[in-house]
Amino acid sequence: MKTIFQKIMDGEIPSEIVYRDGVCFAIKDINPQAPVHILLIPAKPIARLAEAKEEDAEILSHLMLAAPKIAKEQGLEGGFRVVINNGLIAGETVPHLHIHILGGRQMAWPPG
Ligand code: AMP
């Protein structure tokens, strides 16, 4: 069964796509937790970080290198936070790996 992110990727559900390349795409989060809240999603439906395999290393590094580019495009030169929620206890709600890119306000630590 397709996740909501696969449906967005396939154009079955509308979304504001802000970045796309051959490996990943990025959308605006529907329930933003900061003035800028982007989700960076690999096309490959890796369920979560803990399910990533050695063969996914290039995808993971690609995501990490894409994140600051997207943050810059979104005007977050001053800083941004990246978050991956892995598992229910961490707050994961969509079982398709995604990196939250958050910015545009002062972040607190520790996170909730
Ligand atoms: P997580 O809780 O880490 O699994 O993150 C899932 C994120 O997906 C949440 O921040 C949701 O607000 C977001 N989300 C769910 N459905 C959509 C959608 N249709 N378009 C954009 N973001 C969504």
User: Roughly how many angstroms between the first and final C-alpha of the chain, as a whole number?
Assistant: 31
Residue 30 Cα to ligand 1 middle (Å): 6
Looking at the annotation, which residues are catalytic?
98
Residue 24 has a pLDDT of 98
Residue 38 Cα to ligand 1 middle (Å): 10
Sequence-distant (6+) residues with CB within 8 A of 4 are 13, 94, 96
Q: For ligand 1, say whether the CB of 86 is within 6 Å of any of its atoms.
A: no
Residue 31 Cα to ligand 1 middle (Å): 7
**For ligand 1, atom 8: residue with the closest CA:** 29
Region 13-17 average pLDDT = 97
DSSP label of 57: H
pTM above 0.85, yes or no: yes
Cis-peptide, bond into residue 110, ω within 30° of zero: yes
Percent of the chain with pLDDT over 90: 98
Average pLDDT over the chain, rounded to an integer: 97
Q: H or E segment at 65?
A: helix 57-73
What domains, with CATH codes, occur in the chain?
A: 4-103 (3.30.428.10)
Record the tokens describing residue 35, joined without a space: 């003035």
Q: For ligand 1, say whether the CB of 93 is within 6 Å of any of its atoms.
A: yes
